Amino acid sequence: MSITKTTNGTYQIDISSGYSPVTGKQKRIKRKGFRTKKEALQAEQEIRLVEFHENRYGTTITLNSLYQLLKKEDTLNNRKESYINRQENNYNRHIKTYFNEVDVKTYADFYDFREHLKQKSHKREKNKGLSNNTINKIIILLKKIIDVGIRKGYYRDNPVKLLRKLPTSKKEISYWTIQEFQQFKSLFTPEEYPIQLFFTILYLTGLRLGEGLALTWADVDFHKATIRINKTAHRRNGKNIIDTPKTSSSNRIISINRKLLEELAEWQNRQKELLSDFTKDFNNLQVIQSQPIEIGKNTIEKVYKQVLKRDSSLKPIRIHDFKHSHASLLINQGEDYLIVKERLEHSSITTTIDTYSHLYPSKQKELADKLDCLYLYKETIRNHS
């Protein structure tokens, strides 16, 4: 038997599944320390499915076993680590805690789960519920998990597909004008300068939070006055993890203004003085780093919240809205959609237009004026005929 009870009262599993065609060795996995026989049975089922790829049609399977297989598939398909981490957070926080190893098969099971999500409070804002957009993403993940069950023969169809997407409204973007941004900058203390510089970079370039954190001096070309964006940073187990950008279009080189270039050059000299005792590899230092330890997302968010509290008259925006603020800055400078698209790494000009068309009132006015001119021209021709 693959499951046995040990002398200390716990259970262990010892599973074999033929021989490897490559090494000729027996495929065997041993695991110990299961408190109950039920836990051992679930572990055996998961190992047979995920590790040995066994398919026993007609037997039940837990969502957790299917999710583990999905996760393994995503890893083999080279999905980004940040993507897998976000997916795991959603699974652990919402799906796993609800179903709790229960075998589910019917549309009603999944419909009840979605109704549960509608009543669930936001993790950070307890008086606020999950948005429809968030719920839709969780349901999409659930659909992917059941799709694995179909491929493995545990489900004949996917009842999650019958759930219609909840309606979502287009979010109204928030942004700061240049005056509001200058007001924000004035709230920093001298000791917080590296964080102030970080937000200056975001505002004047349109970089994402992760892209700004991943920026090193090797990415800054002082001769051409450009920066290269080819990576992003996210936090995992207390460490900055460097990954490829969100999409292929996120790889880009953008020009930066002279004042920002001068500020970066001055800070680079100061940074060398601060960190010369700790490293000689300045080229690969994080641009905003002021200590031997890199600055991470949590530090940025913490300081940002503290700074915003220093002036209640300043309209609060999200860090992601610095990207929208940069787009607004470009539009007010008279730049067209194509320039905005290139700097903000949109894969399609349609995305740019859909997102920022309402910030182009001057273009609408120009069109109206042209139509007036056309009308007046026709009137003039008629009067002289």
Residue at a domain's end among 128, 147, 169: 169
Structural domains in the chain (count): 2
Mean pLDDT, rounded, for 234-250: 71
Domain boundary at 134, 169, 204, which? 169
- Residue 220: enclosing H or E segment and its boundaries? strand 220-221
The token pair that represents 75 in the structure block: 């890893």
State whether 124 and 199 are in the same domain.
no
Is residue 19 domain-resident? no
Asked whether residue 315 falls in the same domain as residue 344, the answer is yes
Statement to judge: residues 140 and 185 lie in one domain: no
Same domain, 117 and 203: no
Range of 47-61, 281-295, 323-337, 354-368 with top mean pLDDT: 281-295
Quick check: is 186 in a domain?
yes
pLDDT above 80 for 301: yes
Measured CA to CA, the distance from residue 44 to residue 11 in angstroms comes to: 11
- Classify each residue of 227-261 as buried b or exposed e, where b means 16 or more C-beta atoms within 10 Å of its C-beta: bbbebbbbbeeeebbebebbeeebebebebeeebb
User: Is 360 a residue whose pLDDT tops 70?
Assistant: no
Q: Kindly tell me if the per-residue pLDDT of 367 is higher than 70.
A: no
CATH number at residue 251: 1.10.443.10
Q: Is the pLDDT of residue 361 over 80?
A: no
Rounded to whole angstroms, how far apart are CA atoms 268 and 36? Answer: 59
pTM of the shown model: 0.69
How distant, in Å, are the alpha carbons of 71, 197, 243, 351 from that of 234? 19, 19, 8, 25
Give dist(CA 201, CA 207) in Å, integer.
7
Same domain, 164 and 306: no
* Strand, helix or coil for residue 266: helix
Residue 171 scores a pLDDT above 80: no
Structural domain includes residue 190: yes
Q: Which residue has the higher pLDDT, 204 or 373?
A: 204
| Residue 38: inside a domain | no
Instruction: Give the integer Cα–Cα distance in Å for 255 and 176.
Output: 21
Structural domain includes residue 39: no
Q: Are residues 306 and 200 in the same domain?
A: yes
- Tell me how many helices (H) and strands (E) the chain has: 15, 8
* One domain, residues 268 and 297: yes
For residues 96 and 221, membership in a common domain is answered with no
**Per-residue pLDDT reduced to its tens digit, 31-80:** 777 788 777 777 776 666 666 656 554 456 778 888 988 998 888 888 88
Q: Which residues pair with 233 in a beta bridge?
A: 242
Is 219 domain-assigned? yes
Predicted pLDDT of residue 312: 95
Exposed / middle / buried, residue 2 (Cβ in 10 Å: 0-12, 13-18, 19+) = middle
Asked whether residue 141 is domain-assigned, the answer is yes
Boundary residue ending a domain (144, 169, 194): 169
DSSP H or E stretch at residue 375: helix 361-383
Residue 11 reports pLDDT greater than 90: no
**What tokens does 225 get?**
């006055």
Residue 310 has pLDDT above 90, yes or no: yes
Angle between helices 258-275 and 193-205 (to 10 degrees): 150
The mean pLDDT value for 82-96 works out to 89
Q: Are 254 and 307 contained in the same domain?
A: yes
**Is the same domain home to 154 and 194?**
no
**Same domain (yes/no): 117, 257:** no
Q: Which domain holds residue 96?
A: 79-169
* Structure-token pair, residue 135: 């719920």
- Is 281 part of any domain? yes
Q: Residues 243, 291: one domain? A: yes
